Amino acid sequence: MKKGISFIMGALFTLVVYAVISGYGNTVIHRGLNGMMINKFESYFINGLAPFDRLKNYNILLKSSREYPGEAITKADYFDAKTSQEKFTAAKWIQEGGFSADEPEIFASFRHFYDPLEPAGERYLKNHLDELDAKGIVNQPKIDHLNWALDHPMHEYNWKNGKTAIISALSTFDEEFRDHEMAFAYRALGETLHMIADMGCPAHVRDDAHASKSIAGYKLGSPDAYEEYSEFFNLSNFDITLVDPTLKTSFQSAETLSEIAHKLAVYTNANFFTGQTIYGYDKDGDLVEPIIHADDPYEQPRLGDCTYDLVTLSYNKTISGQTVMMCKDHYYSRFYKGYPYIDRDCAESQARVLFPQIVEAGANVIRLFTPQLEVKISEFSDEDKFIKGLVKHLPDKEYNREIKYNGKVNIVDVKSGKPIIWVECIDGEFEAEIRRWDFRNVDWKKGITAEIQFGSFTVKSNPYLNIERGLVENIDIELRMDEALVQIKHDAGTVETFKGYNAKYYQPYDNRGALTQSGNSLTFVYNETDTYEDAGSNKVNEANINININLNPAKNSLSFTASNFYKTTKTFAGETEIQHQTNESASHDNVPMTESSGNYEIYELTGKRVEEVMVSYHGIDHELWDKEETLLNNNCGKDAKLRITIRYATDEE
Amino acid sequence: MFKPGKPSVFFLYGMFFMSMLLILFQCTKSDDPLFDQYKTTELELNIDYAGIKKAGNETEALLLQGDVDALNENLVDDVQSVYKQQNAMYSSEELTAIANAFKKRKLVFATEDFAEYSYKIDGTEYTLTLGQVEEGVWKIIRY
């Protein structure tokens, strides 16, 4: 009988211990919140909503099983935390950063406060610490959490160093080193997100020290009820979609970490009490003074702005559309109503409002931590056997210097998703010889992409279809006049200029060429009037060239009309003599188009002075042409090239 | 020392049995969609249950004695300014009522530095919280 009772007692004892330990979940809150920030970031990223759409060419798998080696804190301690080399996934590093930011605890506890109502530079923890500093017990570091997390040199895993690690990972050819850098970056991001979570913790933004244990007999505060209870909340019970609309807009428009952190701190400071900073007139009109900062209490929130609930004996307030239990004064006394306090119900009610704001802020911090890169295949030719492209960084306020990518670029077959080859990228540019054989199975309707990977981030180019489809945006026009090259890049529908000079007789050309697009017609008009003096004679040259190109998708051809007027005059003794004049035109119908070139001898077009006009272009999808789709709107590549070469005879001839 | 057949050994068997049951039937983290693809590190709890229990017993004794000064001494420093007044306002009957109710207290929450007991008076639940101020030394925050 005794044995049976002992057995049952043992089982019950274990159950009770388990219940006490795991009653609110067994996840450390900072790790859990960081995990929720990752989830929220990924959901925003996957949905491609602004401002996360700037990462539309990214594939981000923070939760993938790939591991990165780095230094982790594996045992917490007040003074001397233990570290060891570990291999964690990206998500785990970010979560562990949420934990390690608080280590060693005493050191961190002095630097994890930010009072947004104080002037910049004075937002650090003063409660207890100023007093201990004055007594010579501790040194007041005068460091607030934002500055600590941003770039403080004593904080290794700060935001700036994290970004530097990302830049380093993007700049190295050494893949092992890159993984180390990414581990560092993820941990630094995690420690920064810890700071964000603290900005959503009332005690951390209302100068309320809460390190419970004393040092050498000197007090550093008393436990903060909100922080103690929230440590064990089961985060899956919280609806993180309940984000304050104003805060959401400001987080999503923020361009720097500081903006996000400060805004969240202001919100938390203004809306929530801590157990020791409750202030205002209570339900009976009596003034409740805060336990700390009694001589200079926080003006907001105030007890008087809350409604008192007689059932729960609590003060309640609507914050961001939710009713929040701010504090209670439920005491067993007929004579004294007691100082209001924050219990588990209050803490949970407050966390329901604060956690969504924290998670939203954190998701946006991860957004800012991700540098914006663009990968592009600019040229590919299986005939000439080369591929060329770039990895371009678009600087922003967080990464304000251009990052030059070095490392592998994988060329991937879009249809199969398999890498075909990899090429080396140096300082953001890649150019390599290829073998046609490697690309024999590529479905060019789907094309190929170029992809880079750093950590859990993959950035890929738009598919290169060999012929990129879309509106004709850029047309290269090359005018060749008396061996002088005149080249312009032209946006269809706009008037561009071109510059050049014409050997020794002509003045520099300027503002004379225009290409216009209308439906299937491209019209290039060129006018010039040049003058120069020649041994006492005045010689005037005038030239007008009008070239009209009509693209004919149905026949896979183009029609070409060109007219030229050219006149040379000589003025002598007041009389003008026309020395040479041409006014001719020519047209060609159904000139077959190929991807490479059509080469036209229009020898009669401008008499002696024009030797030839060459038209060449590529960028036409023949298959789509057969469907008679509108060439310019649909079938032509964005970078289709139309090259018009006009060769003039030189004057010497 | 632990001979098979002794009640203490069966106590351990019971603990082992319940531990196995909990491991088998508890929800794993992979059940939680938030953490389905990555594991969080277990919280290493180092809760000073002995210290909490000792503080609970001492508080009970002081309440029974109605020793307001001693209760005040046992308050966490930070809150003395407000709770000293509160202690003075309690009548001896009230302190006795609290003390008697506190005899049947339950530890409902504990962390390394913070603990909460609940107790009932006339069916209404009240709470008493403690904070660890030095290693092994716990004091009252409120009740």
Per-residue pLDDT of A165-193, as tens digits, reads 999 999 999 999 999 999 999 999 999 99
- Give the mutation candidate from A7, A13, A33, A240 for the B interface (greatest B CB count, under 10 A): A7
Could you tell me if B27 and B75 lie in one domain?
A: no
Could you tell me if B54 and B113 lie in one domain?
A: yes
Residue A632 pLDDT class (50, 70, 90 cuts) = very low
Task: List the alpha helices (DSSP H) in A54-211.
Answer: 90-100, 105-109, 129-134, 145-151, 159-171, 175-199, 202-205
CA dist B111 to A21, A211, A332, A396, Å?
A: 8, 13, 25, 43
Q: What is the pLDDT of residues A549-608, one digit of tens each?
A: 555 444 444 555 555 555 666 666 666 666 656 555 545 555 444 333 333 332 222 233
Q: Which amino acid is at A290?
A: P
Backbone angles phi, psi at A412, to 5 degrees: -115, 135
Interchain proximity B89–A335, CB inside 8 Å: yes
Residue A69 CB neighbours (<10 A)? 14
Interchain proximity A235–B14, CB inside 8 Å: no
A20, A330, A334 member nearest B110 (Cβ): A20
A374: pLDDT strictly greater than 50: yes
A158: pLDDT strictly greater than 90: yes
Q: Find the domain containing B79 and state its range.
A: 49-142
CA dist A179 to A161, A183, A185, A361, A421, Å?
A: 15, 6, 10, 27, 22
Give how far B78 is from chain A: nearest CA, Å: 6
Could you tell me if B106 and B78 lie in one domain?
A: yes
Total number of domains in chain B = 2
- For the question of an ipTM over 0.90, the answer is no
Could you tell me if B67 and B20 lie in one domain?
A: no
Q: What b/e string do you get for A575-611 counting C-beta neighbours within 10 Å, with b at 16 or more?
A: eeeeeeebeeebebeebebeeeebebebeebbeebbb
The pLDDT of residue B46 is 79
- Give the mutation candidate from B77, B82, B122, B124 for the A interface (greatest A CB count, under 10 A): B82
Can you tell me the distance from the alpha carbon of B110 to that of A18, in angstroms, rounded to the nearest whole number?
12
Could you tell me if B98 and B130 lie in one domain?
A: yes
Could you tell me if B10 and B61 lie in one domain?
A: no
Closest CA to A362 of A157, A145, A196, A198: A196
Interchain proximity A15–B18, CB inside 8 Å: yes
Residue A229 pLDDT class (50, 70, 90 cuts) = very high
Cα A519 → chain centroid: 37
B28 found inside a domain: yes
Residues above pLDDT 90, as percent of chain A: 50
pLDDT (mean) for A393-400? 96
3-state secondary structure of A527: strand
Lowest mean pLDDT among A169-173, A195-199, A330-334, A613-617: A613-617
B138 found inside a domain: yes
Residue A460 pLDDT class (50, 70, 90 cuts) = very high
- Share the mean pLDDT of chain A: 76
Interchain proximity B15–A89, CB inside 8 Å: no
Could you tell me if B64 and B86 lie in one domain?
A: yes
Cβ atoms of residues A130 and B75 within 8 Å: no
3-state secondary structure of A286: coil
pTM of the model: 0.71
The pLDDT of residue B121 is 92
The pLDDT of residue A503 is 22
The neighbouring-strand residues paired with A641 are A618
pLDDT (mean) for B55-79? 90
A405: pLDDT strictly greater than 90: yes
B44 found inside a domain: no
The pLDDT of residue A4 is 67
Q: Which residue has the higher pLDDT, A644 or A324?
A: A324
Going by their DSSP bridges, the two strands A58-60 and A457-460 should be labelled as antiparallel
| Chain A neighbors of B107, CB-CB under 8 A | 20
Within the 20-49 window of chain B, which residues sit less than 8 Å (CB to CB) from chain A?
22, 29, 32-35, 37-45, 47
Closest CA to A42 of A444, A375, A367, A265: A367
Cβ atoms of residues A448 and A439 within 8 Å: yes
Q: What b/e string do you get for A462-491 counting C-beta neighbours within 10 Å, with b at 16 or more?
A: bbbbbbbbebbbbbbbbbbbbebebebebe
B71 found inside a domain: yes
Could you tell me if B59 and B120 lie in one domain?
A: yes
**Residue A348: which region, alpha, beta or left (left: phi > 0; alpha: psi -120 to 50)?**
alpha
DSSP 8-state symbol, A535: T
Cβ atoms of residues A191 and A101 within 8 Å: yes
The pLDDT of residue A353 is 98
